[in-house]
């Protein structure tokens, strides 16, 4: 079931696609490692019953949604910033190069942690698939499997889209793709923030 959740397109997928096609395999794999790390965090949180916390203290869930949404909006707006035309983006890339491994990892981690809906999904998954008093090692194995599935899926995406042909194709549509990615990330973030008002 976690594989289906991992392969469904969302902010993590969009981020890996962008980093693989724009910066190559290394940064995309570091991004994948950050996403997998956050999956482990959410998995442990789910196993420990964070859903119960969110039910008991709805303000915690609301706060996490607003903070997570704001982070995704900020990431999206960085890609949509006005006046940052194609030439400026190319020049900036030449000066800054690909993100460091730490920066790519942190972006993957932050993007995945920014979505508290993942915590609720993972908690529900544990509640419906794990016995109430499952041994600790079973729970840890399930969390580890979730992290491994995320790492495997996003690594496949990273390898496929960091190929030279894929990168050349990306270069032709990069400015459009960056704006699309920015809009998608900002849209996910806006959805998290706006869903609080409903």
Residue 18 lies in a domain: yes
Residue 1 is assigned to a structural domain of this protein: no
d(C-alpha 150, C-alpha 152), whole Å: 5
Tally of domains within the chain: 1
Q: Is residue 2 part of a domain?
A: no
Q: Say if 166 falls within a structural domain.
A: yes
Which residue has tokens 């303000």? 59
pLDDT of residue 88: 41
Do the domain assignments include residue 6? no
Rounded CA separation 153/9 (Å): 12
Plot region of 82 (φ>0 → left; ψ -120 to 50 → alpha; else → beta): beta
Domain range for residue 38? 11-197
Residue 4 lies in a domain: no
User: Is residue 67 pLDDT above 70, yes or no?
Assistant: yes
- Looking at per-residue pLDDT, the higher value among 110 and 119 belongs to 110
pLDDT band at 135 (very low <50, low <70, confident <90, very high): confident
- Residue 129: Cβ-neighbour burial (10 angstroms; 0-12, 13-18, 19+): exposed
Q: What is the pLDDT of residues 6-38, one digit of tens each?
A: 777 788 988 999 899 889 999 999 999 999 999
The reply to whether 142 falls in a domain is yes
Whole-number Å distance between alpha carbons of 117 and 68: 10
**CA dist 34 to 53, 94, 117, 155, 176, Å?**
25, 24, 18, 12, 26
In whole angstroms, what is the distance from residue 20 CA to residue 163 CA? 8
The two three-digit tokens of residue 99, written as one number: 């993100």
**Tens-digit pLDDT profile for residues 180-198:** 878 888 888 888 788 766 6
């Amino acid at each position: 079931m976690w594989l289906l959740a991992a392969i469904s397109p969302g902010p993590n997928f969009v981020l890996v696609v962008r980093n693989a096609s724009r910066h190559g395999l290394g940064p995309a794999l570091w991004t994948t490692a950050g996403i997998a790390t956050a999956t482990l965090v959410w998995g442990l949180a789910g196993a420990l019953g964070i859903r119960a916390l969110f039910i008991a203290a709805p303000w915690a869930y609301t706060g996490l949604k607003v903070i997570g949404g704001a982070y995704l909006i900020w990431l999206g707006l960085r890609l949509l910033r006005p006046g940052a035309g194609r030439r400026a983006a190319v020049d900036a890339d030449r000066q800054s190069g690909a993100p460091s491994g730490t920066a790519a990892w942190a972006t993957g981690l932050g993007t995945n942690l920014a979505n508290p809906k993942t915590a609720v999904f993972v908690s529900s998954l544990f509640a419906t698939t794990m016995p109430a008093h499952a041994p600790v090692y079973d729970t840890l194995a399930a969390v580890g499997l979730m992290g491994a599935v995320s790492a495997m899926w996003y690594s496949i995406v990273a390898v496929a889209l960091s190929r030279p042909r894929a990168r050349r194709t990306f270069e032709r549509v990069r400015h459009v793709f960056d704006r699309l990615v920015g809009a998608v990330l900002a849209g996910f973030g806006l959805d998290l923030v706006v869903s609080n008002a409903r």
